[in-house]
Each structure stands twice: as structure tokens, then as C-alpha cells.
Structure 1
Amino acid sequence: MNEIRNIYCVGRNYRLHAAELGNEIPESPLIFLKPTHALVPMDGGVIELPADHGAIHYEAELVIRIGGAFVPGASVSELIDAFALGLDLTLRDLQHELKSKQHPWLAAKGFRHAAPITKFHQLTGDPMRELSACSYSLRINGEERQRGQIDEMIFGLDQLIQHIGSFYGLGPGDVIFTGTPAGVGPIEDGDLMELYWGEELIGSARMRIASS
């Protein structure tokens, strides 16, 4: 994971997900960051999560990796070189508390192991065509909980890249968690989380909620 530089995340990028949490649809991309220490591989092992902070919610997401230096107007095909699937984990009770106080979300979104991620898969042709070809999904203990496709996003990949690159900067090694579809919910101790690209399992992990 040490080749990853910045982890950009997009909030409320699927209408049904925004609705299920009672949030307004944003007028421009809602961007937040996670530290690289939040990354943990979904390689079939056990991922330890913090206890005593309330509910931990899962959010399955398509993750894109930037392979070139951003310049204004740069296209998706010029910048994206690989994709993965990941989980944007959220301490939901803590997030609600922080939002009520108008405080930053970092404690609720950026804790250690808050960004489980599969291996990256190289994109060899037209990234938009390849990424549009499949849906992605999350199964928990064998039951599908979420499914999404990039054409369901409020802000598409090109819009996200232009916004993030122009405002914050983008370069090789940066990754973007592009938002989650509807179906989020709490993780229970011992849950098996499996991420699928189409019908192919590309990452899994068993969740252990343990006292820190």
C-alpha cells in the first residue's frame, strides 16, 4: 500500500444512498480524505476494527488509481491506469455527533483500517468502456447487500477528476473512492465481506471488532 499517496473519497455520489441517510443531493462533488494508514488489504485475512465507538457502517465503492500528472482538461483515459474495489468504513454514531457539532469527519472516516481495499487491476484499453462493462457488488456472509455501476453516479469519473485535480491536485499514486450505492448498514463482529467485479470475487476479509 506504500505506493498510494493521497486517498480522496466522494460522499453522496449515488442518489439512493443519499436518500437512505436523509442527506441532500450535493450540487458539486463532496470530497474528503482518509490517511494512508486507513488502508488495509482485503486478501482473505482478518481486519480488526475499533470497538466502543458505536456502529461501524460499510460502504462498498469503486476505487480508481491515477497514473499520470493532472493538467486541466486531461481525460479519464489519460489519467486512470487501474481500478480496485474498496470499503469506506464509517463510525456512523460518531459521524452524526461530529456533524451535529459542525466538526470535521476525520475521526469517523479516517481511523486505522477504515479503507479496506482489493488488489488493483490494470486497465489496458479505454477505461470508461472497461469500467462500464460490469457492476460491482458487496456480499456479507454470502448475501448481496450492495450493487452499483458507474453510470449511476451523480458525478461521473471525468467530473470527479476535473474537480479534484483542479482544486486539490492529482498525480501518480493518488486514488479516488468514487462513492457508494444504496444498501449501507452496520458491520457485526465476524462478518465475512466479499467484493465482486461482475461475478468474479476479487477481495474478501473477515471483520473482527475488537477493543483498541
Structure 2
Amino acid sequence: MTGFNLRHFAQHGKKVVAVGRNYRDHCAELNNAVPTTPMLFMKPSSAYLTESSGPILIPRGCTDLHHEVELGVVIASECRDVSVDTAMSHVGGYALALDMTARDFQEKCKSKGQPWEIAKGFDTSLPVSRFITKEELPEPHNVVLWCKVNGEDRQRGNTREMVFNIPTLLSYISGIFTLQPGDLVLTGTPAGVGPVKAGDLISCGIADLLQCQFAVAQR
């Protein structure tokens, strides 16, 4: 895959594999057990939203939309049944992402034993930053992720607190789904998730390296 395509992963990636409950403090705030193996779910490519694409749209019927800031891993080369030791060689770079979650939809699905896709995969549920090169982010396992809403601090966590690190995640995922160039892996969110409403402005960043802003609007 060319550098052009990697830098435009949101247009060229075929799938998004997300990891749930990958920070212990986030598990605790939602009263969830810490997983013993990575917990996976998917988002469709139609969920992508870039800063220039418009606002995050609250899905119809949702009354409890939450922000979840995450580090995303952009895949550079086909990744199938890779070992932990070789997994990082398939990483092309990174992106900051928001895993927007219709929490009321999610809780309803969980209560019925149903999948979460409507809570996690709706249009505009995946705001992403520009592509971040590996040179810009040489230590992905020791970087601060933060999120503010209308200037109020909501989330601040360090990727060193992940339950499963990036090589472990890529090795596990690639044993189930072949990861292809341009695909995105979301690595989970730290504590502090919370609600947003129409008219709010979400700011999020990776330490001092990068900052993004996304408005929230009613669909």
C-alpha cells in the first residue's frame, strides 16, 4: 500500500476492529470485569468522520451519547496469524479516535443479549485525526490521551495502562480476522467517559502532539 493510501486510511481502510474494556479504570467505572482475553467488536467504514466532514450526529432515538477517546493503530501490510514479536512490523502509523457510543442503545442490547453494533457503528460514530507517522509517535505504549467537552476535562490516561498492549492485540486479532492495509485497530479507552449533547464541542488529543475538535449535533 502506498503512503498516500495510508495517510487516507479513513477512505481506503476496509474495516475497523475495536477493543473493549482495555483499561482497568474504565472497566471499574462501568462495573465491568477486566477481560482475560481481548474483547472485540467492529465498526463499519461508514462510521468514519474527519474534522472537515462535519459534526458528530446523535443517532435518532439516542438520549445518552458518550465520548471514548482512543489510540488507533493503522495497518500497513497484511497481518494474518502474526506473532507478538513481529506484530509491530505491520503497523504503518497511528490516529487519534473517538469511539462514540450510544450508551442507552448499548445497555438495551446488553440486557437482551444482543450485539452492540447499533450502539457503536452508527454514521459519524468514529471521528478520527490525521494520520500520525511512527516517527511522530515512537513510544505508543507511553503516551497521554485526553478528552475535554466544552473545555472541561473528562478523560486523561496513559497508554501504558492498557490491559493488552498493541503487539498482543494485533497477534490475537490477526488470528481471527486478517488485517489489511489501511484497516484501523482501536485500542480501548481510559476512564472518564461521559455524555455529550447537541451543541457540545469535544476536544481530544495525544499529549502535546496533536489536538482535534468535533462538534456534536442532532441528526
TM-score, length-normalised on structure 2?
Answer: 0.89
Query: 1:108: which partner in 2?
Result: 119
Query: 2:19: which partner in 1?
Result: 10
Query: 1:96: which partner in 2?
Result: 107
C-alpha distance after superposition, 1:34-69 (max 9, x if no partner): 011111113484332224222111111001101012
Structure 1 runs (4+) deviating above 3 angstroms are none
Q: Supply the AA of the counterpart residue of 1:12.
A: R
Uncovered stretches (5+) of structure 1, i.e. residues with no partner: none
Offset of residue 201 of structure 1: 4.1
Equivalent residue for 2:171, pick from 162, 168, 183: 162
Aligned residues: 208
Equivalent residue for 2:205, pick from 196, 199, 204: 196
Offset of residue 197 of structure 1: 1.5
Alignment map for 1:117-132 (pairs within 5 Å) = 117-124=128-135, 129-132=138-141
Equivalent residue for 1:136, pick from 140, 145, 155: 145
Identity of aligned residues (%): 36
3-state SS of paired residue (1:130)? coil
Equivalent residue for 1:187, pick from 179, 189, 196: 196
Asked if the contact 1:14–1:181 (Cα under 8 Å) also holds between the matched residues in 2, the reply is yes
Q: 1:106 to 1:91 in 2, by over 3 A?
A: same
Asked if the contact 2:87–2:171 (Cα under 8 Å) also holds between the matched residues in 1, the reply is no
CA RMSD of aligned residues (A): 1.8
Query: 1:77: which partner in 2?
Result: 88
Q: Matched residues in 2 for 1:76 and 1:25: separation?
A: 23
TM-score, length-normalised on structure 1?
Answer: 0.91
3-state SS of paired residue (2:11)? coil
Asked if the contact 1:57–1:92 (Cα under 8 Å) also holds between the matched residues in 2, the reply is yes
